[in-house]
Chains A and B, each alone.
Chain A
Amino acid sequence: MSEKVLMKGNEAVAEAAIQAGCRYFFGYPITPQNEIPEYMAKRMPKVNGVYLQAESEVAAINMVYGAAGAGARVMTSSSSPGISLKQEGISYLVGSDLPCVIVNMVRGGPGLGGIQPAQSDYFQAVKGGAHGDYYLVVLAPSSVQEAVDLTMEAFDIADMYRTPVIILGDGMLGQMMEPVQFHQYKGRNLPAKDWATTGTNNSRKRNIINSLFIDPQELENLNIERFNRYKQIQEKEVKFESVNCEDADVVLVAYGTTARVAKSAMSRARAEGLKVGLIRPITLWPFPVQVFQQVARTAKAFLAVEMSMGQMVEDVRLAVNGLKPVYFYGRTGGMVLTPMAIVEEIKKISGGEKND
């Protein structure tokens, strides 16, 4: 195991990608994720990889498409407005069943928005974002170490199920430094990419990377096949952390950096004698539905906390399915939550003063 190093979240994600075998990066600068392309520009030439600054996010995601179609481990990164520009390409990647990793260090929106951390791209990442019937695997690290571990795994998940995977962070995660360790990347047993356009070498049938299917029956069949793969992902790839839920009256639900704030709030609330737990979805899609079903038997209420006007809370409601009330508290536009404010919300719920 390597020694601990102090790294920014953005740099750590970039290094993790390289250690997981990613050798192609196409991107375009945007705050607050610039350390990713900068790091790639420095490191890629030293590992015989390619860093290319595209003319736009649109071009970058299409370069990713070409490289993924050619069989490479490839990544792009951006922040909210740039991710919106990539949506067309993401839909085509899905439609052509191409694996890749896309990092979104989310900032406040809509529009040009701000540059401070936010979680207001949850819907975009989890519910589609571009056109067509599809999901993306969405991983939400809450520490720099977890960002490293999940980035490495993201490439395996992408290759295994032939799907783009999103790393959904935020400006805080990207900018903050924490100690990290780069564990030896092991990797899963993955199917060969015999579908890639590498040139036929006159020795096999030609490969076609394509998302155009004029015959509706053919397209429906392909979509159903893709959703069968999604079902496997839902069965095998769900990740979450649950803390203190056994005796909890109020269960906080938070992901990413907000889950850290929620943890601090939980500790404070517990110190004051309030029975508070936490569920932290690590995979936002697939959403960890089952744990909510379990915890809903004993908990009295759920409180989703997010840096948004309330997006993940909808999935919490679907998962809790009416068994218990689900409350929401959030800040938006780049404002971050404080543990004290969350404790206040918990008290309001316990005192019956908050509406769900």
Chain B
Amino acid sequence: MNCTHEIVMAGFGGQGIMFAGKLVSYAGMLAGKEISWLPSYGPEMRGGTANCHVIVSDEQIGSPIITNPTALIAMNRPSLDKFEDTVVPGGLILTDSSLINRSVKRKDVVAIEIPATQHAIDLGEGKLANMVLVGRLIRETGIVSLDILKEALKKIVPARKQELLEMNIKMIELGYNG
């Protein structure tokens, strides 16, 4: 059986949802896998919830739209409310419990609630909670190795923002090891 990860990442605009998705996609590409990344777009993006669909697979990818994700990263309450029920049984739900005032209701999934924003603030940059969650995502799912994820990060952080690289890596490691 081939291995296909279908990940939905969702949150408010500005939380780095799209970037997190791109990072995992890029890492998947470096790992030699088939990948697709599909964002929500248009007015939906303006101040509302943003989400992206990331597929990492050993096989050619059919539809880039995910109906039933194998993993969900929810960075705010509306995202958890919207996508919780769509996750496949046995799938993974990762939430930022600093920002979501309820627990995951599903009992047939692996639910991990991390105070990602609080961790990120403690480490010095609250806006990088997305990286904490991505770190945990790859540990739980094994989509790519930590090393490949870091390599991907180096490639997609723009040259003028290289000073953020170290901080991003710290956050990923925190999530991965946490």
Contacts and interface: CB of A to CB of B under 8 A. Distances in A.
Q: Please say whether the chains A and B touch (CB closer than 8 A).
A: yes
Interface of A: 4, 6, 31-32, 115-116, 171-172, 175-179, 257, 260-261, 263-265, 267, 336-340
The 3 A-B pairs at the shortest CB distance, nearest first, are namely A264-B62, A177-B37, A261-B63
Interface residues of B, number: 19
Interface stretch (B22-30, B96-104, B138-146): B22-30
B37 A32 contact: no
B52 to A, nearest CB: 9
Contacts of A261: 62-63, 65
Nearest to B152: A6
Contacts of B26: 6
B41 A339 contact: no
Interface in B5-26: 22, 25-26
B90 interface: no
Contacts of A336: 63, 65
B42 interface: yes
Contacts of A337: 63
B63 A178 contact: no
Nearest to A177: B37
Contacts of B62: 260-261, 263-265, 267, 339
B158 interface: no
A178 B25 CA distance: 8
B29 A179 contact: yes
Nearest to A5: B29
B36 interface: yes
B78 interface: no
B42 A32 contact: yes
Contacts, number: 63
A260 B29 contact: no
19 contacts: A4-B29, A6-B26, A31-B41, A32-B41, A172-B38, A172-B64, A175-B41, A176-B39, A176-B64, A177-B37, A178-B36, A178-B64, A257-B64, A260-B64, A261-B62, A336-B63, A337-B63, A338-B67, A339-B62
B53 to A, nearest CB: 9
A336 B65 CA distance: 9
B60 to A, nearest CB: 8
Interface of B: 22, 25-26, 29, 35-39, 41-43, 60-65, 67
Contact of B35 (A116, A172, A178, A257): A178
Main secondary structure of the interface of B (DSSP, over half): mixed
Of the candidates A177, A178, A263, A339, the one having the most CB atoms from chain B within 10 angstroms of its own CB is A177
A261 B63 CA distance: 4
A114 to B, nearest CB: 8
Central interface residue in B25, B26, B36, B62, by most chain A CB within 10 Å: B62
A6 B41 contact: no
Given A176-B38, A176-B64, A178-B35, 18 more contacts: A6-B37, A32-B42, A116-B42, A178-B36, A178-B37, A179-B29, A257-B63, A260-B62, A260-B63, A260-B64, A261-B62, A261-B65, A263-B60, A264-B62, A267-B62, A337-B63, A339-B62, A340-B67
B160 to A, nearest CB: 15
B38 to A, nearest CB: 4
Nearest to B43: A115
Nearest to A267: B62
Given A4-B29, A6-B26, A175 B38 contact: yes
A337 B38 CA distance: 15
A295 B32 CA distance: 35
Nearest to B18: A177
A260 B66 CA distance: 13
A266 to B, nearest CB: 9
Nearest to A338: B67
A175 B45 CA distance: 13
Contacts of A116: 42
Contacts of A172: 38, 64-65
